[in-house]
C-alpha cells in the first residue's frame, strides 16, 4: 500500500512542477513523469493491458508535444563533470524501473479474486464462451464490443478534426510555398 502512496505523491509533484515551471520543455518532461508513474501504478494494480496502452500513448504524446508544438530548438548537450551525473541518473532510473516492473509482473495473476457477480461470471465463463485466453480482450471485443466501436468512433472523429483544422485547402495562397 505504501508503494501506491509514494507513486501518487510522485505523480502529484510531477503535475505541480509541470504547471509552475517556466520552461516549456521542462513542463513536458514533468508531464512525462506523471504518465510513466501512472503506467507503473497500473502495472502494480494488475492491469498490464492498460499499462502498455498508457506507456505507448505517453511516448507518442511526448513526441507530439516536443516535435510538433514546441517551436524552440531543443539542444540537450551536456559535457564536463555533469556528463557522469546525467549518465548515472539515467542508469539509476532504468534499473529502478526494471525492479518495479519485475515486482509488479510477479503479482499480476493473483489480482481479481474478490469479484462481483457479473465479473465473476465473465471470469468463470469467458474462456469457454469466447475462446480468448486474455480476458480483457474477451470483454472489450466480445462482451462489450459496442463500447469499443464507440471508442473507435471517438478517435476517428478526433483525427478528422485534426485534419480539418490543419488542412492545406483553406490556407491563403501566400502561405503555400513549401
Partner 1 sequence: MNKNEGMSLIVKTITRLTVGLILLFGIYIVSRGHLSPGGGFAGGVIIALAFVNLLLAYGTRGLKKFPLMAAEIIETIGALFFILISLFGLILFGVYFYNFLGTGRPFNLMSAGIILPANIAIALKVGAGLYGIVVALVLAKSLMEKK
The correct pick among 9, 63, 78, 95 for binding partner 1 (CB under 8 A) is: 63
123 counts as binding partner 1 under rule CB under 8 A: no
19 counts as binding partner 1 under rule CB under 8 A: no
Q: Which is nearer to partner 1, 2 or 177 (CB)?
A: 177
Q: In this structure, what C-alpha cell is assigned to residue 12?
A: 502529484
118 counts as binding partner 1 under rule CB under 8 A: no
The minimum distance between CB 12 and partner 1, in angstroms, equals: 26
87 counts as binding partner 1 under rule CB under 8 A: no
The minimum distance between CB 89 and partner 1, in angstroms, equals: 22
Contacts of 24 (CB under 8 A, 6+ apart): 70, 72
Contacts of 167 (CB under 8 A, 6+ apart): none
Q: Specify the stretch interacting with partner 1 by CB under 8 A; choose among 9-17, 92-100, 117-125, 161-169.
A: 161-169
Give the footprint of partner 1 on residues 141-160 (CB under 8 A).
141-142, 145-146, 148-149, 152, 155-156, 158-159
Contact 112, 123 (CB under 8 A): yes
The correct pick among 2, 71, 79, 109 for binding partner 1 (CB under 8 A) is: 71
Contact 46, 108 (CB under 8 A): yes
Contact 65, 35 (CB under 8 A): no
How would DSSP label each residue in 121-139?
A: HHHHHHHHHH--SSHHHHI
Amino acid at each position: 500500500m505504501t508503494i501506491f502512496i509514494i507513486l501518487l505523491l510522485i505523480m502529484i509533484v510531477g503535475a505541480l512542477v509541470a504547471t509552475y515551471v517556466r520552461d516549456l520543455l521542462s513542463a513536458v518532461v514533468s508531464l512525462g513523469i506523471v504518465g510513466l508513474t501512472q503506467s507503473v501504478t497500473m502495472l502494480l494494480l494488475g492491469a498490464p493491458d492498460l499499462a502498455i496502452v498508457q506507456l505507448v500513448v505517453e511516448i507518442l504524446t511526448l513526441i507530439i508535444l516536443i516535435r510538433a508544438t514546441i517551436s524552440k530548438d531543443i539542444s540537450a548537450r551536456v559535457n564536463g563533470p555533469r556528463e557522469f551525473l546525467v549518465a548515472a541518473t539515467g542508469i539509476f532510473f532504468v534499473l529502478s524501473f526494471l525492479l518495479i516492473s519485475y515486482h509488479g509482473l510477479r503479482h499480476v495473476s493473483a489480482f481479481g479474486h474478490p469479484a462481483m457477480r457479473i465479473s465473476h461470471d465473465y471470469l468463470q465463463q469467458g474462456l469457454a464462451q469466447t475462446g480468448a485466453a486474455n480476458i480483457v480482450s474477451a470483454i472489450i471485443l466480445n462482451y462489450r464490443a459496442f463500447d469499443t466501436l464507440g471508442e473507435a468512433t471517438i478517435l476517428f472523429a478526433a483525427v478528422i478534426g485534426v485534419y480539418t483544422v490543419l488542412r492545406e485547402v483553406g490556407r491563403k495562397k501566400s502561405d503555400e510555398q513549401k
